[in-house]
Structure 1
Amino acid sequence: MSDDPRLRGPRGSARVPSSGRASGTYRSGQVGGPPPPPTRGTAYGRGGQRPPRKGGGVKPRWGRIALVAGLVLSLAAAAAGIGIYSYANGLNDDMSRVDAFAALVGDRPVDEVDGDMNVLVVGSDSRDPDNPTGGGNARTDTIMMLHIPSDHSKAYIVSIPRDLYVSVPTDAQGNGGEDAKINAAFAWGGVPLLISTVENYTNVRIDHFVEIDFAGLKDVVDALGGVDMKVDDTIESIHKPYRTFEKGMNHFNGAEALDYVRQRYQLPKGDFDRMKNQQKLIKAIMNQATSAGVMTDPGKLDAFLQTVIKAVTVDENFSLLDVAIQFRGLGAENLVFLTSPNTGTGQSPSGESIVVSDDALAGDLYMKMRLDSMADWVAANPDAVK
């Protein structure tokens, strides 16, 4: 791997001792040779300021399009369709905010390219029937990296498996500092530690943060009058009222859609299939939100926008108005869905099931994201596109 810091791959992919592939345990250096050593240390503390952007410039307002990964290209299109500044400002003021970056200081990835934008999107679900603790914001099973290129032609959404085994840095409170599944960072240190963990693994600088309450998506789907989703294989839900989801195209209401994207145990590829179904739901919501039936109905449009606002939390610098007015043209056809490259499941040293990073392929993907060349990576890896 090159010594050029721009060309380094994942920096914090955890190394699992070699003990044989047959049992599913990762063999260090198995794919693409050994990666750079994990980056550790306390790089984050309270009261720090974000380093200035390269060249001291401000990125274009396109960057505020974070919610595309969580519904929001459709939201931008809808708000712009209304054409009322005061209304859009009111929506922006009503959005829940989190101080996602103030606690991050020190050795963060360099911002290589002007005009692109990288957004960390997470999905939390405090009412998930699979969550016996009712963990609220201490749990996130959906982690996505959204990359908006500087030419604004596409939106790339990379799903990161919740069980991906990585090095979690130590935060100012002493949380982390060990190898673990990536979603443990959110449970241990909240948004800042998750951001630091993702940056440590990908070597990509995060510009915005969006959290989606998946339980809140029920109301979003209902406000749209339901969504159309394709079911790959007939399955029965493991949650009450034990719905049967028939193979083929289905029209789901909110409860049905949320139930379907929660399924994993009876799916052939478990969490990987669940990630794919969550991506399908995002696309289905965007398709329905930008349809004539919603855009030409002021009541339905307002209900949709209001429910989206209640379902998301964004960082303090996120501006909905900029998105709504300037970037209403993108639609579901402009989304490219990917999964962070991995070699499948394995075992941690303690014996728990994990997802093992494909360091060589992931390193190349995140290098292209960092250098704003995602189209090149997709062209070279067409089978990776969902």
Structure 2
Amino acid sequence: MSATTSPSGNPSGRASVPPYGPAGARPTGRPVAPGGPGRPGGPGDRGRSYRGGRPRPRWGRIALVAGGVVLLLALIGGIYAVNYVNGIDNDLKRTDAFAGISSGRPAKTVDGAFNILLVGSDSRDPDAKEDQANAWRADTLMIMHVPADHKSAQLVSIPRDLWVVVPSGNNAPCSSGSRAKINASFAFGGLPRAVRTVECLTGVRLDHVMAIDFGGFKEVTDALGGVDLRVDQTITSIHKPHRVFKKGMMHMNGAQALDWVRQRKQFARGDFARMQHQQEFLKALMDKAASTGTLTSPGKLDDFLTAVAAAVTVDQDFSLKDMVLQFRSLRGDNLTFLTSPNKGSETISGQSVVVSDREKALALYQAMAADRMDEWMAANPVKKNT
């Protein structure tokens, strides 16, 4: 998390993501946002010591589970599944993720296509009140773009240290505010400010938001009986009980998988290696659900969806039933994982930050906004995780 002091006077720079925004319906204004993509940017760093002066573990990787939840539901199908999920839909925790964002939003130009902001949180209390300081902390942001035909999805990870302009208010012009790591947007104005910041950075309209608590990571994975993940080098976890991850394929339960996707210091590529491991985890989660009959067994499905419902918080308009219907033809092979174009790390204002590649980011996010990701990927071949 950035050390930037928030307007509320919180000097810690740690993100606070309250799950409930001010009362009121989600605004419907849709004027085109000023500014647009290509601004330098970056999620915030925690900067809080947990042992030996090192930054405390970051839990935000868990946003991937939220994406997995949405995509796994695509595999369910059938009248029974729709009715069953409809019941769970009514029990989901909800938040006004778009509170106060009533103007300057990117226009929704393509019917059928939509974008979901996935947020990783280390909160243990999704029902914490908005004014409860540091009730939520988040340091992973990812945009999941679903084209109008709903036959594929592209997931773009936004590095938490991306250097961006954080607007001065949820309804303020994109050019206002101050520069900080993108994760500092939570400390400045909670989840709605993060939404506003991402929309200003990318010029992409966000249609839905899904946040997941790290505690749900273990439960969701265990509900599937664990996952098989590729360990690219032997390491010892920096967290108790200091598990050893040996090079090669490993079967991991929820606690092990959570530990694995938190590791970064042991890798030369740092956070970028960790983002790769997150992406590999998501695909493994989907493959496991599809190959073991979880989604066709009432008992297994109940356990899985119960764990999912307990772990996620969604925006007020999010419909699990709609997602099931829209994602019926989506499969793991139709996923493409990307990272927001950047030039790597630089030191700015005494902070190590990730600097956006303005030209490449502009091209990517313009393609996303126009639902032309297939054209962008044809011109910029992406190696899919296997």
Shared fold by TM > 0.5? yes
| Alignment map for 1:1-386 (pairs within 5 Å) | 49-51=27-29, 69-78=67-76, 80=77, 83-126=80-123, 137-171=135-169, 177-348=177-348, 350-383=349-382
Q: Which runs of 5+ in 1 are unaligned?
A: 1-44, 55-65, 128-134
For the 8 Å contact 1:338–1:384, the answer to whether it is kept is no
Alpha-carbon distance change, 324 to 365 in structure 1, aligned in 2, over 3 angstroms: same
TM-score, normalised via structure 1 length: 0.77
Aligned residues: CA RMSD: 2.5
Tell me what 2:6 maps to: none
Tell me what 1:38 maps to: none
For the 8 Å contact 1:342–1:357, the answer to whether it is kept is yes
Q: Deviations over 1:283-328 (max 9, x none)?
A: 1111112224323432222101110111111111111112224532
For the 8 Å contact 1:157–1:335, the answer to whether it is kept is yes
Distance 1:46 1:97 in 2: 12
Alpha-carbon distance change, 384 to 190 in structure 1, aligned in 2, over 3 angstroms: farther
Distance 1:336 1:72 in 2: 15
Q: Deviations over 1:126-150 (max 9, x none)?
A: 37xxxxxxx8654212110111111
Q: Percent identity?
A: 53
Q: Give 1:381 deviation, angstroms.
A: 1.4
Distance 2:383 2:376 in 1: 10
Distance 2:139 2:159 in 1: 8
Larger Rg: 1
Q: Give 1:267 deviation, angstroms.
A: 1.4
**SS of corresponding position for 1:83:** helix
Alpha-carbon distance change, 385 to 181 in structure 1, aligned in 2, over 3 angstroms: farther
Distance 2:134 2:226 in 1: 26
Distance 1:292 1:68 in 2: 20
For the 8 Å contact 1:113–1:372, the answer to whether it is kept is yes
Distance 2:105 2:171 in 1: 18
Q: Deviations over 1:135-192 (max 9, x none)?
A: 8654212110111111222100000000000000011699x92100001001221111
Distance 2:340 2:324 in 1: 29
AA matched with 1:359:
R
Distance 1:137 1:50 in 2: 28
Distance 1:84 1:148 in 2: 21
Q: Give 1:374 deviation, angstroms.
A: 0.6
Structure with greater helix share of residues: 1
Pairs aligned (count):
321
Distance 1:46 1:203 in 2: 26
Q: Give 1:112 deviation, angstroms.
A: 2.1
Alpha-carbon distance change, 177 to 46 in structure 1, aligned in 2, over 3 angstroms: farther
